[in-house]
């Protein structure tokens, strides 16, 4: 019975935290749920429009999918719903020639939700949760910055109230388009931006100076998007713009969507599948990264494979109930966390409040100006543009810095999928280059100690007939030639060497190709009257070597447990 309960809790993490749910947790979760609900309406509508989909698909994706994640997810504070980076990837997919030719963006958006969910569940069945570790942070950071810049460019026409021109490299064409801006739209945009910026750091600092309670500061400062939507909607509804119209969201379907299945040709599903794969991969990686941030702050654990199940099920729910693809959102999650959410009960409350709003207040969403939503998007994603991070990465590691910059430029120049692919290829190439040219050091003994250090960095004892070489990487087919060349070069510089000791403390593996090369190298040394010796080899390396006759071939060379023992015996 205990095993059954453990299995149930593993698949439904809500069981684990519900049984330990305390009375004092409910007040924190209710407060956080209300604050997060304030963001759901403007962000749900804004990100749907950003993706090129009707606004209701963003709202529907913010109701049931978060509740499904609450049942299955291992993060207690991750807020699942429409997100900006996924939205721009969806827009890229829907505007691809072969997809736009289908002529039904709503159907395509729903199919993306279904395919993303199915891909994630398939990955979970194959225990591929660890895939999150195969996209490096520099590539993800470069992609995020590039996608954020694309979003900014995408939203500028909404800010100025102009149609996006197709001018290629004709700067005069762009200037003419900007010159035809709508003054009322620009006024709403600038007013919305000013209000949103004020509700950020300036208002928070002001409230802290006034010694306002921290919970009240969190509640007040997070009301900026909702207040922006309300004020801009009132302006559009009652102000006279002199016949200069302002683009609005328009009427939304009233009531809650009922479950349905999208009927589409198999070819449509096939065409969308590659895009779904990319969107699903990035959504999963970003969601887990965000979940780990808040989990680490509270000493909690995230189960990557269970996250695949939770996010996959949430996306399938979005498909069934007419929603766009979903993922974990950074801004909503941090708001939820900062507001004091203890468990996923906060998101259940937020989604419930949004559901009631959609049922009873959907008519009031019609006059929301798109310019205000564009301002909300700009403020939310502006901090995702991290150009300084590229410089920081480059200074630390040139290969990673190049991968991050190439990913950003690739996203901007070639497209989202191509940019990510380029970054991943460069990261793998950089890793292979490092692996194929491992760090190797000739070492000597620090006087009056048993410590051995690099002769180029420390003042150490050396011996003219004894060469101590430390290899700081596993020895494989990719680098054994480099290691052989390095040893040959050192022997030329030290022709009196009679004994070579390979210090293998950092070597985790020696593959078959490397073993063959070491045997040939040892034979060459023996022919010239020299010996090859090993020291500090790890147990798993020794276990592999003992399955061969390498130690017999090594004689009269020896294997030492410590480098100090080798020096005493050979020095």
List the domain boundaries for the chain. 1-249+265-385, 393-436, 440-570
Closest-CA residue to 49 (of 79, 87, 86, 80)? 87
DSSP state of 132: G
Q: Which residue has the tokens 């109230």?
A: 161
CA 4 to chain centre: 34
Closest-CA residue to 326 (of 559, 79, 528)? 79
Strand, helix or coil at 309? helix
Closest-CA residue to 469 (of 495, 496, 433, 506)? 506
DSSP state of 322: T
Helical spans, DSSP H, in 251-364: 266-297, 304-320, 330-338, 345-361
CA-to-CA distance for 292 and 61, rounded, in angstroms? 23
Residue 328: phi and psi, rounded to 5, are -80, 130
Give the helix/strand (H/E) hosting 376: helix 370-382
| Per-residue three-class SS string for 241-269 | CCCCCCCECCCCCCCCCCCCCCCCCHHHH
CA-to-CA distance for 379 and 373, rounded, in angstroms? 10
DSSP state of 364: G
How confident is the model at residue 173, as a pLDDT?
62
Of the candidate CATH numbers 3.30.70.100, 3.40.50.1980, 3.40.1010.10, 3.30.750.24, the domain formed by 440-570 belongs to 3.30.750.24
If phi > 0 it is left, if psi is from -120 to 50 it is alpha, else beta; for residue 558 that is beta
How confident is the model at residue 263, as a pLDDT?
72
How confident is the model at residue 533, as a pLDDT?
96
DSSP state of 163: P
DSSP state of 529: T
Q: pTM here?
A: 0.82
- The beta strands (E) that lie in 419-557 are given as 440-445, 452-454, 466-471, 499-503, 531-535
Q: Compute the chain's Rg from CA coordinates.
A: 30
How confident is the model at residue 396, as a pLDDT?
92
The CA angle 299-304-305, to the nearest 5 degrees, is 140
Q: pLDDT by residue for the chain (571 residues), tens digit each? A: 555 666 666 677 888 778 888 877 888 899 999 989 988 989 999 999 999 999 999 999 999 999 999 999 999 999 999 999 999 999 999 999 999 998 899 999 999 999 999 999 999 999 888 776 777 889 888 998 998 898 898 888 888 887 766 665 566 666 666 666 788 999 999 999 999 999 988 999 999 998 888 888 888 888 889 899 999 999 998 887 766 788 889 888 877 777 877 777 889 999 999 999 999 999 999 999 899 888 888 888 899 999 999 999 999 999 999 999 999 988 889 888 888 889 999 999 999 999 999 988 888 888 999 999 999 999 988 888 888 999 999 999 988 999 999 999 999 998 888 888 898 899 888 888 888 999 999 999 999 899 999 999 999 999 989 999 999 999 999 999 999 999 999 999 999 999 999 999 999 999 999 999 999 999 999 999 999 999 999 999 999 999 999 999 999 999 999 999 999 998 7
From the CB of residue 405, how many other CB atoms can be counted at a distance below 10 Å? Answer: 21
Distance, first Cα to last Cα, the chain:
65
Provide the edge-to-edge strand list for the sheet that holds 559-560: 452-454, 440-445, 466-471, 499-503, 531-535, 559-560
Give the helix/strand (H/E) hosting 496: none
CA 496 to chain centre: 54
How confident is the model at residue 537, as a pLDDT?
94
Residue 185: phi and psi, rounded to 5, are -65, -45
Strand partners, 469: 442, 502
């Amino acid at each position: 019975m205990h095993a059954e309960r453990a299995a149930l809790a593993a698949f439904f993490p809500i069981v684990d935290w519900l049984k330990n749910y305390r009375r004092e947790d409910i007040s924190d979760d209710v407060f956080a749920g209300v604050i997060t609900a304030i963001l759901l309406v403007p962000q749900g509508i804004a990100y749907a429009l950003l993706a090129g989909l009707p606004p209701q698909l963003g709202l529907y994706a913010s109701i049931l999918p978060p509740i499904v994640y609450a049942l299955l997810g291992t993060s207690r504070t991750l807020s699942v719903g429409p997100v900006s980076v996924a939205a721009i990837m969806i827009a890229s997919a829907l505007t691809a020639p072969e997809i736009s030719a289908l002529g039904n963006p709503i159907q395509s958006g729903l199919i993306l939700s279904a395919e993303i969910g199915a891909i994630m569940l398939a990955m979970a069945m194959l225990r591929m949760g660890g895939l999150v570790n195969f996209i490096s942070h520099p590539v993800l950071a470069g992609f995020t910055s590039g996608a954020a810049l694309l979003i900014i460019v995408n939203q500028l026409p909404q800010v100025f109230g102009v149609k996006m021109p197709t001018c290629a490299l004709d700067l005069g064409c762009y200037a003419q388009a900007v010159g035809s801006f709508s003054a009322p739209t620009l006024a709403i945009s600038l007013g919305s931006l000013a209000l949103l910026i004020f509700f950020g750091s300036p208002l928070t600092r002001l409230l802290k100076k006034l010694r306002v309670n921290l919970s009240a500061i969190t509640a007040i400062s997070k009301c900026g998007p909702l207040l922006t939507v309300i004020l801009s909607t009132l302006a559009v509804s009652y102000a006279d713009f002199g016949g200069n119209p302002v683009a609005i969201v328009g009427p939304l379907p009233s009531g809650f969507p009922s479950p349905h299945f999208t009927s589409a040709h198999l070819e449509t599903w096939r065409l969308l599948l590659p895009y779904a794969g990319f969107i699903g991969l990035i959504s999963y990686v970003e969601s887990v990264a965000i979940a780990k941030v808040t989990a680490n702050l509270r000493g909690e654990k995230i189960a990557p494979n269970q996250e695949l199940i939770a996010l996959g099920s949430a996306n399938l729910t979005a498909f069934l109930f007419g929603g766009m693809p979903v993922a974990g959102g950074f801004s909503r999650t941090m708001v939820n966390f900062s507001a004091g959410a203890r468990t996923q009960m906060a998101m259940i409350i937020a989604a419930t409040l949004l559901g009631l709003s959609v049922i009873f207040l959907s008519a009031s969403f019609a006059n929301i100006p798109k310019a205000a939503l564009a301002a909300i998007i700009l403020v939310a994603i502006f901090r995702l543009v991290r150009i300084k991070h590229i410089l920081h990465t480059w200074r630390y590691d040139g290969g990673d810095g190049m991968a991050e910059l190439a990913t950003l430029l690739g996203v901007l120049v070639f497209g989202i999928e191509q940019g990510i692919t380029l970054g991943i290829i460069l990261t793998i190439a950089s890793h292979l280059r490092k692996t194929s040219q491992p760090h190797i050091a000739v070492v000597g003994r620090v006087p009056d100690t048993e410590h051995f250090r690099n002769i180029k960095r420390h003042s150490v004892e050396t011996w003219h007939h004894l060469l101590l070489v430390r290899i700081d990487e596993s020895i494989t087919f990719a680098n054994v030639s480099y290691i052989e060349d390095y040893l040959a070069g050192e022997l030329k510089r030290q022709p009196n060497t009679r004994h070579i000791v390979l210090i293998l403390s950092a070597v985790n593996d020696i593959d078959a190709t490397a073993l063959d090369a070491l045997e040939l190298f040892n034979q060459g040394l023996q022919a010239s009257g020299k010996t090859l010796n090993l020291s500090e080899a790890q147990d798993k390396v020794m276990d592999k070597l003992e399955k061969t006759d390498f130690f017999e071939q090594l004689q009269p060379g020896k294997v030492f447990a410590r480098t100090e023992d080798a020096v005493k015996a050979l020095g």
